A and B are shown apart, each in its own frame.
Chain A
Amino acid sequence: MTAEAPEPQMSSGHPVTGLDEVVHQRVRLGILAIAHEARRVEFGYLRSQLDLTAGNLSKHLSVLEMASLIDVEKGYEGRRGRTWVTLTAAGSTALAEEIKRLKLLITQIESTDTPED
C-alpha cells in the first residue's frame, strides 16, 4: 500500500481495539485492496476475484458506500449495464490504517509467541 495514513491511535495499547469493523472484514478488505490497486474496478471483476454471488457482493458494497469508503458509479456500455467502484480518500486512508494495524498485530503476536516449557 502506498497511501499515507495518520498513525493509528491505540487507546488501550492493543491494536485489536483500533480495528474498524467495516474494513476488517475479509471481503470488504479485499474490495478496498483491489479498488486501491486498480484505481477503478468493475463489479464483475470483483465478483470473480472474490468468488462471491452478485447479491453478496452488493451487500458488501452497500456497507462500504454507506461508510463513504467507496464511490459506486452505474452506467452502460452499449446495452450492457456496468457498475464501477472507486476508492474515496477516506477509503484509501482506512485501508492504509487497517494494513498498519494488521502488521502491528502480527508483530505483537510474534513478539509474545514464546516457546512452551
Chain B
Amino acid sequence: MTTESMSAGGDPRRLLSDVRGLTHRVRLDQRLTWLALLVLGLVTLVGIPFDWFGMRVNCASDGSCEFARRGVLFYWPPALLLAYAGITVSYIRAARARGLGARVLPYAITGAALTVLFTAAWVAAALYFPDHPVRFPSWVLVVDRLIAPWGVIGVALLVLARVERNVALLLFTLGYLAVALTLPTNEGWGTSWGIRADFAIPQVICGIVLLLGATGFAVASRRHR
C-alpha cells in the first residue's frame, strides 16, 4: 500500500463516503428531469385541441351520445414518439456537455414501447367495440387509463426514476399516476358543459401537474448547482 493511499482517504468509512458522494454528484449532473416533465406537460396541453376538434360526436334524439376520439389517435402516437426522441437527444447532449455519459435510453425505449402498446389498444378498441358493446369491470377501466397517453407518460416516468435513482421523481410520478388514474381522462368528466369539455378538463389537470413538476425540478436543479 502506498503512502498516498494511507492518507486521510485510507480510512474505509471515509473512502466509502467519498465514493457515495461522487456517485451522487454524477447522478445529479446526469439529470434533466425538469426538461422531460416540461416536454410531456406541453405535449399534454397541445393535445387538447386535437382531441376537442378531432372528436366525432353523434347524439341521438333520446339524449344518448356516441363519440369517437380520432384526434387522440392521430395526435398522441407521433407526439409521444417525437417527445421521447427530443428528451433523449437533450439528455445525451446535456450530459455530454458536462463531460458525462447519459442513462436515458431505457426510459426512451420504454416510452416508445408503451406508445406502440397504447396505439394498438386504442386502434383495436376503435375497430372492435362499436359493433361489440361490452360492460367492463372496474379493474379493466384502471388498466384502460394506464395505457391511455396520460397513463403511459406516468409508467415511463417510473422507469426514468429507476434509471436515475431519483426518489423525488418516483414520489412525483406516483402522485401524478394517482391523479391520472383517478381522473376520468378517457371516460369524460360528466359535467353539463358538453362531452368535449368533459374530456378536456382531466387533460388540463394532467398537463398542469406535469408543468408544476417541471418547475419544481428546475428550481431544485438550480439549487444543486
- Listed stretches B17-25, B35-43, B106-114; interface member: B17-25
Asked if A40 is an interface residue, CB under 8 A from chain B, the answer is yes
Asked if A72 is an interface residue, CB under 8 A from chain B, the answer is no
Asked if A57 is an interface residue, CB under 8 A from chain B, the answer is no
Residue of B nearest to A106 (CB): B12
> In terms of DSSP, what is the predominant structure of the interface of chain A?
helix
Asked if B216 is an interface residue, CB under 8 A from chain A, the answer is no
Asked if B44 is an interface residue, CB under 8 A from chain A, the answer is no
A41 contact from B9, B18, B99, Cβ within 8 A: B99
Interface residues on A, range: 20 to 34
Q: Are A106 and B98 in contact (CB-based, < 8 A)? A: no
Q: Are A38 and B18 in contact (CB-based, < 8 A)? A: no
Interface string of A53-66 (1 = CB under 8 A from B): 00000000000000
Q: How far is the CA of A37 from the CA of B165 in the complex (A)?
A: 11
Residues of A close to B103: CB separation below 8 A? 39
Interface residues on B, range: 20 to 34
Residues of B close to A8: CB separation below 8 A? none
Q: How far is the CA of A41 from the CA of B25 in the complex (A)?
A: 13
- Expressed in whole angstroms, the minimum distance between the Cβ of A64 and any Cβ of chain B is 14
Q: Are A38 and B15 in contact (CB-based, < 8 A)? A: no
Residue of A nearest to B26 (CB): A37
Asked if B61 is an interface residue, CB under 8 A from chain A, the answer is no
Q: Are A99 and B19 in contact (CB-based, < 8 A)? A: yes
Interface string of A7-41 (1 = CB under 8 A from B): 00000000000010100111101100110111111
Q: Are A26 and B22 in contact (CB-based, < 8 A)? A: no
- Expressed in whole angstroms, the minimum distance between the Cβ of B106 and any Cβ of chain A is 12
Q: How far is the CA of A40 from the CA of B26 in the complex (A)?
A: 11
A45 contact from B13, B19, B27, B99, Cβ within 8 A: B99
Residues of B close to A105: CB separation below 8 A? 12
Asked if A49 is an interface residue, CB under 8 A from chain B, the answer is yes
Residues of A close to B98: CB separation below 8 A? 45
Q: Beyond the given A38-B26, A41-B100, A49-B22, could you list 14 further A-B residue pairs with CB under 8 A, ordered by the A residue number?
A: A21-B2, A21-B5, A26-B5, A26-B10, A26-B18, A29-B19, A30-B19, A30-B22, A37-B27, A39-B103, A40-B100, A40-B101, A102-B12, A103-B16
